[in-house]
Structure 1
Amino acid sequence: MAGAGEDWLSEALGVVGGDFSLWVPGVDYLAGWREAREAADRLNRALLGVDFEPSEVRCVASTDEDGRGLVRLAGSPGAVDRLAGLLESAASTGGGSA
């Protein structure tokens, strides 16, 4: 369990509830987190562009146990449902290609 002094690290790495697994020496967790942070920031800007507020839905950078970046989407059920509708609409009109 993370101590009070480690709360900032739990939040930055997306650790839910402050529970840490043992970190593997030599794994560059920060590089994976940085990559995830760039992707999360890009998606957060896109969400703002279609009128989602950060208090409704947002992306957070994290890493997995091997140091690979992960982007987690967190939001209220209503906002996530609305986002799903936008994505479904884009996919059905052919706008879903990257």
Structure 2
Amino acid sequence: MGGSGEGWLSDGLDDTASAAYGLWVRGVDYMAGWRVARESADRLNRALLGAGFEPSEVRAVASTDAEGRGVVRVACWPDAVERLAGLLEALPPRDGGAR
């Protein structure tokens, strides 16, 4: 899975909002939302590392939406999705869960 295709797994503030909506909105504090998302993405990335995933396989990436709200996107290779789904499916059901 190496090579030049790993750029999509990079972290940091991306231009998701501008790409999806055309322009950044003047006066919207995108950085505040990104900072919140970054903290959550970092926590998830630490958990993924603890579960044996490599950052080149699966990575939580901080971003924002058009309104400046933090968004965490999970970017991963299909085989990593299968492994992650297997781990999540093996968890015991929670009360009120969707299972």
Q: Which residue of 2 aligns with 1:15?
A: 15
Matches within 5 A, 1:9-88: 12-15=12-15, 19=19, 21-88=22-89
Task: Using the TM superposition, give the Cα deviation of residue 33 of structure 1 relative to its aligned residue in structure 2, in angstroms.
Answer: 0.2
Higher helix share: 1
Distance 2:93 2:44 in 1: 20
The structure whose RCO (Cα within 8 Å, separation 6+) is larger is: 2
Alignment RMSD (CA, Å): 2.3
Runs of 4+ with deviation above 6 angstroms: none
Instruction: Give the Cα separation in 2 of the matches to 1:39 and 1:65.
Output: 19
Task: Determine what percentage of the aligned residue pairs are the same residue.
Answer: 63
Label 1:79 to 1:96 Cα distance change in 2 as closer, same or farther (>3 A). farther
Give the TM-score normalised by structure 2. 0.75
1:39-66 deviation per Cα after TM superposition (whole angstroms, max 9, x unaligned): 0000000000010000010100000000
In structure 1, stretches of 5+ residues that fail to align are: 1-10
Tell me, yes or no, if the aligned pair for 1:87 and 1:96 is still in contact at 8 Å. Answer: no
Q: Return the offset for 1:12.
A: 2.9
Change (3 A) 1:52 1:95: farther
CA distance in 2, matches of 1:73, 1:83: 11
Counterpart position of 1:6: none
TM-score (norm 1): 0.76
Q: For this pair of structures, how many residues does the alignment match?
A: 84
| 3-state SS, counterpart of residue 26 of structure 1 | coil
Unaligned runs of 5+ in 2: 1-10
